[in-house]
Amino acid sequence: MSVLAGRLTGKTALVTGGSRGIGRGIAERLGRDGARVAVHYASNEAAAKETVAAIEGAGGSAFAIRAELGVPGDAARLWAEFDRHAEGVDILVNNAGIGSTRPFASIGEEEYDRVFAVNAKAPFFVTQLGAERLRDDGRIINISSGVSHAAVLPDLIAYAMTKGALDVFTRNLSKVLGPRGITVNAVAPGIVDTDVNADWLRTSEEAWAGAAAMSALGRVGTPADIADVVAFLASEDGRWVTGQWVDATGGSLA
């Protein structure tokens, strides 16, 4: 099937943090489904260009936009860049985020503020400014995490708190934007094989096996596993699902 026959043909999507890992998987999948995809990145221009090239190589349409998140004025700069390439958006995926692996006793105030600025504050204001550009019957998908619902990795306490905030944002925003036919959902990955996780996930066979054992399905997740769930919610098939936290951990919380 050609990309022109995709179920998102005629739609425009913005994926924050879309140049690598889960974000890239989402961007490429939405592109294959026919959407024109804005691939947002903070600093790695080469990775963003690679993602755009991959989407275009598969017959899709994409463009890259740069904006650092977690700093004053970030949302306004992001949308100013977007507006240079497109008018209006149908699908917003708030995927960009950073982690914090310091335990409760050692995380400092600066790091705490930074992880909240990127993971919770930025999606709020990106969405707030994006709402006026978002067409009726649009889609907002926030990338949460399994750690917001279970203390499986307690050293990620600050990170988990940011994702809990994102979950609350998701539920409440679904009621705010529901009258416009806009759905708002959160998708929660578990452990996914990305370059961000490679430093510990691929250090040994034992590390990989331990991560795989957390899933009821006995394997480590892939960006495509998450992207397929997002693609469903972004499509017409997901029109009656809103305000939900979708467990995409492969049964790690079962």
Query: Which sequence positions are flagged as catalytic?
Result: 144-145, 159, 163
- 124's CB contacts (< 8 A; 6+ apart) are 169
d(CA 186, CA 127): 14
**CA 190 to chain CA centroid, nearest Å:** 13
Amino acid at 132: E
State the residue for tokens 């790690």.
Answer: 252
Instruction: Find the angle CA(245)-CA(154)-CA(18) to the nearest 5 degrees.
Output: 50
Upper half-sphere CA count for residue 59 (Cβ side, 13 Å): 10
Q: Residue 175: in which H helix or E strand, if any?
A: helix 157-177
d(CA 178, CA 214): 35
